[in-house]
Each structure stands twice: as structure tokens, then as C-alpha cells.
Structure 1
């Protein structure tokens, strides 16, 4: 059974599961089969038991299956998180299983590093080209003075370049270069030589095309395999895939590769809490083995690597604007790529983008840019 607006939502069954869900929602402002854009409209009688037994995994999969609908999933997610349902929506068995797995196994080892690329980043360049702006940045834009997504992404790239104090002739390493956004911008506008690495074949192929004719080299490589010496190192939207067991190795790798007077910029989503956890739906469908670092995780690991923190900036609310712009692009251009995908994929991406936007709106997640040095002399003044 899937949602069909011609039929309308289901008459709510009088079951214990439904009553429990209604009690959980009480005070959140979210109503079952209500008229507000953030209200849930239910189309399957087993929705309630599925969500109670499977938590956020069941909620996300039920949406992909068409069991429920909501005009503004972003607002629904924001209200639920502000109401405190974020952690309660995950079942104890899900949390325990992830902690056991991450405790006994390195879920982000070199052998497993390519899993997320195959599951997400290699899904199809045609999809991401329509969802993102012309820079192909798949990370938070900087909306301080921007009115459009493209302006925000250009501002983010330029902000990173200014924080790194780039100068012509410098050698720059881009860890997790994606589709070459930073590499192209830095080489074209600041005259630097860039080596970019990614674990995604699709990203590497398109990045090489986009950077053709520029002093840019794109490698399909894991960060732990890197050698060389660089004046500057940057990592934008990649640290979320490193994993807590590898944080020290990551920062030690940067310290080993960075020039004595060099600068390193880390751009990452961050968690408010120092827990080793992952949402089961996102772990299965969007970013397998991904985990968000906390401020303590970052500070402790970078300290072990003898890197000096020069600046820390949080512009997490800008990710809300970025994600909603991606969602608008995705909806507008979906018809162009629909023959290559299925309806379940469309709903998966809409759910992913909407829930993330709501999470940043609720300040459930943050976006940090952190600048490091190896202790170079003199004062560092970070641009804003």
C-alpha cells in the first residue's frame, strides 16, 4: 500500500501502537492526519507498529515505501528534534548494535573506506549535477552575504582560500576533493597547485574533466596512503567518514604532510555530544559507516597530533539554507533524470535532504571550520 492523494489518508486505527505514537508526539505541534504542512498523513495501518519497533529506520523506510506523507518533512524533523524525540526515536537494540560493531571493528578501515563511495557518491553524476550548483560543492555554503546557492558556495570556497592564506605557487592537498570544487577554484583564482584525493570513481572522473588545463591532479586514493609535502592542506566535508577509531591517524597524517609553516583547514559537520552513534536509516541508505565528530573528539585527536588550533568558526544554520536549496533543485530537475532511477530513490533523497535541513534548523547538528598550524610564529587573524 502506497500513498495516493486521490484516496486521502487512512482512517487512523484504534490500536495501542497508535496511542503510543500520539503520546510521543504530544506537545511537539505535530498532528496525525492534520492540515498543517508539518503534519503526518498516514496511508498504511501498520505504520505505527513499524515505527515503534524499528525507530528512525522504520520511519524512513515507511516514507520510502509511501506509507506516510508530509508537505514539509524539514519542519516535521525540526519539531520532533526540538521536542526531544531524536534519541528516543532510535531503538535500544539499534544503538547497542552500532556501538558493539564500532567497538570491535574499525568500520572506516582502508578496506571498508570505499563502501560509502559505492553506495552514495557513485550513485550517478547526473543526479548530483542537477541537485548541486555549478561549483558541484557537496558541503555547506556560506550565506553571510549570499542570496543564492551559487553565491553561497563561491563564498564558502573563497572563505576557505582566505583562511589558508593561499599564494601563487603553493602546493595544496585537498583531502576528500569530491567533484573538484575547491581544487578548481583555488587553482584558477589563487594560482596554486592542487592534489585532490577521493574514494569515488565517479567523482574522480568528473573532477578531472572540470579541472582540465589547470595545475590540478586528482587521485583515487585513501588519505592513509598519502605521501609528500604540502604548503597547505584542506578537507571539506570528508571528516564525517573518518570514524572515531581513525581520528588520531587522520590528524597525524595531516601533521606529517604539512609544511612547518603551513596551515590546515578542516570543514566538517559536528555533533553536540561526544557519542559514538549513527542514525540507522542514514547509515543504511545515505552514508554507510559515517559518524559525526564532537568538538571534544576533534580537539583531543588534533592535540595528540601536535597541531595548534588557530581558529574555530560555526555556521551550522547555513546548512539549513544549503539543504533546502538542494531540495528545490532536486525537485525542479527530477523529471530530467527520472527514467534512470525509481520512485523509491526520489523519496529517499527527498527524505534525506529534508530531515537534514530540519536537524540543522533545530541546532541538532553544527558546521565547523577549524584552522590549524604546526605552531608557526606570529598572530593568525581568521577572515569572516
Structure 2
């Protein structure tokens, strides 16, 4: 049924699935077919049973299938998580299967490293150019003094440069350089040369174009294949693709590549718990093989290799960043509609909205962590 054919939400069938779901929602402030902006409006009689069977995957896929609508998916997600329903979003069988799979297979091995690039980052530069700001940063902005997305992203880049204490002539490694946002900014404003790597062909092509004339080299490669020695290393929004089985090797690689007296800045989304699991909808449709690290996992993997100098959490800023991306995506959709399907539009709106809600509920964090490889007398991190 298309949106043009709909008259309004359906009357939900009085069955076991509807009663169980309504009981789960009790106290959350969310009502099926309710009047609040965050109340889902149901357009398919099997919505409740699908949601109970498939959890988070069923909720996301049913939205992509236009089984329900909601004016404020971000606030819906926030309320569901604050109500404690996040733990019930993955059926026990799915959680067990993922743990078994992750235990038997390195889901983020060299052979699988390029999967997320092909599935998500290579989707189309035209889409990301319209969703993101002119810096092409696809990571959390820093909104402390910013009034716009562009200001927040410039502030984030400058903050990272200051934390790294960049000086003219330094050689910087950018692990997971994306579309070249940090490489371009650091080379242009701080006089450094940058080597950036990515696992996305589309990102590499655009990053090289954007960094033309600057002392920047962009390579399509996996971080495990890196060689050389760098004064500074930065990794912004890439660690989420490393995986728990590779955390130690990742820090070992950084330590091997970092010059004596160097600094390493890790910018990553973080999980409140050390679970070896992912959201099944995000895994299937957005970031295949992704995994969010916990503070304990980061600390344990880096222990004995690098010295932790500073840990900065500005997770709430990701809520605002994601909502700004969603606004950009919505306002530019007509420019993209000829190439991308309605299902893709709903997929991106759902992804951006749900993630914003997760940061709003403090279910997810955003960390900038600075490491050194020597026992310097003092490190004062800018804020």
C-alpha cells in the first residue's frame, strides 16, 4: 500500500501480539496509533507480530516497507531505549547466533574489510555530498560553540588538530580518512603532510580530488598493511569497523607506526557495555560487520602499548549532528530521487533518526581519546 492510497492508520487487531506489545510499551510514553509525535501510526495488521518475532530488525524493515509512520522516530527511539527496551530489541536466538559467529569467524578480517565500503560508503558520493556539510565529515561534530553543522565540523577538526599538537612539517597518518576532511583541513591550516587510507573506492576518488595541490596522499588499503613512521596518527570514525578480535592488533599497528614522542587521537562511537553484539538492522542495512567498542575493551587493548593521556566524551553532540544530517537529507531528497529508491530514502531516514535517539538516550557515547608512546612530563588536552 502506498502513501497515496492510505486514508489513516488501521485499527489494530485485538490479538496476543498486540496485547504483548502494548504491555511492553506501558510506562514508556509511547502509544500505538497515539496522538504524540513519537507515537507510531500503524498501517499493516501484522506489525505487532512482526516486531515481536524480529525485534529491531523487524522494526526497521517494517518501516522500510511502509508498515508504519512516525513524525519523530528519533524521539520514539529515545523513549524506547530509556524504557529499557533496547535489550529486548534482539531476540535471544539472534544474539546467540551472532556471538557464535563472532567467536568462530573474524568478521572484520582483511578479506572482509572492504565489505562496508562497498555496501555503504560506495553507495554514492552525490548522496553523501547532500547529506553532509562542505567538509564531508561523516562523524560527530563538536557543538560547544557552534551554531551550524558546518561550524561544528570545523570545530571538531580544529579540536583534533590541537589535541595532536600539529606543527608545520609533520607527517600525519589518517586511518580511515573518509572523503579527506581531516587530511585537507590539517594540510591546509596546519602545514602538515598527510597520508590517508580508506577501504572505500568512492571515498578515495573524491578525497584525492578534494586534496589536489596539497601534500596529501590517499591510498585504498587496510590498516593492517601500513608501513612507515609518522609523527602523528589520527583515526576519526573508523574504529567502529575494527572488531573486538582485532583491537589489540590495531593498537599494536598504531604503536609500530608512531614515531617516538608522537601522539595518536582516536575518535570513535562507544558502547556502555562490553557485549560482542550489534544491532541486527544496522548490521544488515548500514554498517556490515561493525562493532562498537566499550571503554574496557579500548583500555585493555591499548594497555602496555600506548599511554592514555586524555579521554573526552561529547556523545550528546552526535544527536544534534545526526539530526542536521537528516534535515539535509530531507531537504535535498528531490535532487536524489531520480537515482535512489523510496526504500533507500526510508532506510536513511530511519538510520539517522534512530541513531540520534540512541545518543539522546545516552545509550551510545562519542569519545575522543589521546594516546602517547612516551612518558611525557605533561599533556594538557584542549577543550
TM-score by length of 2: 0.99
Q: Is the 8 A contact 1:149 1:325 kept in 2?
A: yes
Name the residue aligned to 1:119.
119
Instruction: Give me the whole-angstrom Cα distance separating, in 2, the residues matched to 1:271 and 1:6.
Output: 39
Displacement of 1:376 in angstroms is 3.7
Name the residue aligned to 1:9: 9
Q: Flag structure 2 segments of 5+ consecutive residues without an equivalent.
A: none
Q: CA deviation at 1:4?
A: 4.9
Aligned match of 1:372: 371
How far apart in 1 are the matches of 2:153 and 2:89?
A: 33
Write the mapping of 1:247-262 to structure 2, written as runs, cut at 5 A. Answer: 247-262=247-262
| Alignment partners' CA distance in 2, 1:35 and 1:51 | 21
Hey, what's the Cα distance between the residues in 2 that align with 1:4 and 1:295?
47
Q: Deviations over 1:267-298 (max 9, x none)?
A: 00000001111000000000000010000000
Question: Match for residue 106 of structure 2?
Answer: 106
Q: Is the 8 A contact 1:207 1:218 kept in 2?
A: yes
**3-state SS of the aligned residue for 1:368?**
strand
Tell me how far 1:5 sits from its aligned partner. Answer: 7.5
Conserved in 2, the CA contact under 8 Å of 1:2 and 1:44?
no
Q: Which runs of 5+ in 1 are unaligned?
A: none
Q: Partners in 2 of 1:148 and 1:302 — Cα distance?
A: 35
Within-5 A mapping of 1:25-104: 25-104=25-104
| Residue 363 (1) aligns with residue 352 (2) | no
Partner of 1:381: 380
Change (3 A) 1:96 1:161: same
Matched, 1:164 2:175: no
SS in 2 for 1:340: coil
Q: For residue 300 of structure 2, what is the aligned residue in structure 1?
A: 300
Distance 1:96 1:117 in 2: 27
- 1:314-353 alignment runs, 5 A limit: 314-353=313-352
Relative to the length of structure 1, the TM-score reads 0.99
Whole-Å separation in 1 of the counterparts to 2:376 and 2:274:
32
The residue matched to 1:339 in structure 2 has which SS?
coil
Q: Is 1:178–2:178 an aligned residue pair?
A: yes
Output one character per residue of 1:73-123: Cα deviation in whole Å (capped at 9) or x when no partner: 000000000000001121011101110110000000000000000100000
CA positional deviation for 1:24: 0.6
Q: Deviations over 1:310-366 (max 9, x none)?
A: 000000000000000000000000100110010000000000000000000000000
Q: 1:255, 1:133 → 2: CA distance?
A: 33
Q: Indicate if the aligned counterparts of 1:3 and 1:67 stay in contact, CA closer than 8 A.
A: no
Structure 1: distance between partners of 2:25 and 2:150 = 37
Partner of 1:309: 308
3-state DSSP of counterpart to 1:254: helix
* Structure 2 match to 1:281: 281
SS in 2 for 1:71: coil
Inter-CA distance 5–263: structure 2 relative to 1 (3 Å threshold): farther
Structure 1 residues 117 and 318 mapped into 2: Cα distance closer, same or farther (>3 Å)?
same
Aligned-residue offset at 1:377: 2.2
**Secondary structure in 1 aligned to 2:188?**
helix
Q: What is the CA–CA distance in structure 1 between the aligned matches of 2:212 and 2:338, rounded to whole Å?
A: 30
- Matches of 2:225 and 2:141, distance apart in 1: 29
Question: 2 CA distance for matches of 1:246 and 1:228?
Answer: 20
Structure 1 residue 378 displacement after superposition: 1.7
- SS of 1:298's equivalent in the other structure is helix
Paired residues for 1:207-218 under 5 Å: 207-218=207-218
Residue pair 1:235, 1:266 contacting (<8 A) in 2 also:
yes
Residue 196 of structure 2 is aligned to residue 192 of structure 1: no
Q: Residue 154 of structure 1 corresponds to which residue in structure 2?
A: 154
TM-superposed CA distance for 1:11, in Å, is 1.0
Paired residue secondary structure (1:196): strand
Q: Is the 8 A contact 1:327 1:350 kept in 2?
A: yes
